[in-house]
Amino acid sequence: MNEGRTTWNELSERLDALGLKLKLHLEQAKDGELSGALEALRQKMADIFEATGNAVKDEAVRADIHDMGRLLADAVSTTLTRMGDDVRETFGRRS
């Protein structure tokens, strides 16, 4: 049970780190305040898409996404294996 919890904890930590990296990319892309509300909205949307594009090109972000995918797969696999073992144990007792 500890192995599954450790994997989920590691995945959570990686998601937090990725969120911080994406936030930093967004902050780097921001310009000063714009006068019109629509222009400000357009600019913020452009900033988000630019930051997302920059983040995708960032090898550290790509590595984190790859690692998180692996961790997610490991966590789901461990959880499903444990569930399968519990089901087999439950039905094994009834036989």
Query: Which two three-digit tokens encode residue 51?
Result: 């930051």
End-to-end CA distance of the chain: 26
Q: Does residue 18 fall inside a structural domain?
A: yes
Does residue 33 sit within a domain? Answer: yes
Asked if residue 59 is part of any domain, the answer here is yes
Please report whether residue 19 resides in a domain. Answer: yes
The answer to whether residues 24 and 58 touch, using CB atoms and an 8 Å cutoff, is no
- For residues 5 and 27, what is the distance between their CA atoms, to the nearest angstrom? 33
Distance, CA of 39 to CA of 63 (rounded, Å): 35
Examine residue 95 and state whether it is found in any structural domain, yes or no: no
Q: What is the pTM of this model?
A: 0.45
pLDDT computed for residue 69 by the predictor: 94
Averaged pLDDT, 36-46: 73
In a domain, 30, yes or no: yes
Total of domains in the chain: 1
Backbone angles phi, psi at 31, to 5 degrees: -105, 180
32 falls within a domain: yes
- What residue numbers bound the domain in which 24 lies? 2-90
**For residue 37, what pLDDT is reported?**
60
pLDDT value, residue 74: 94
Amino acid in the structure at residue 91: F
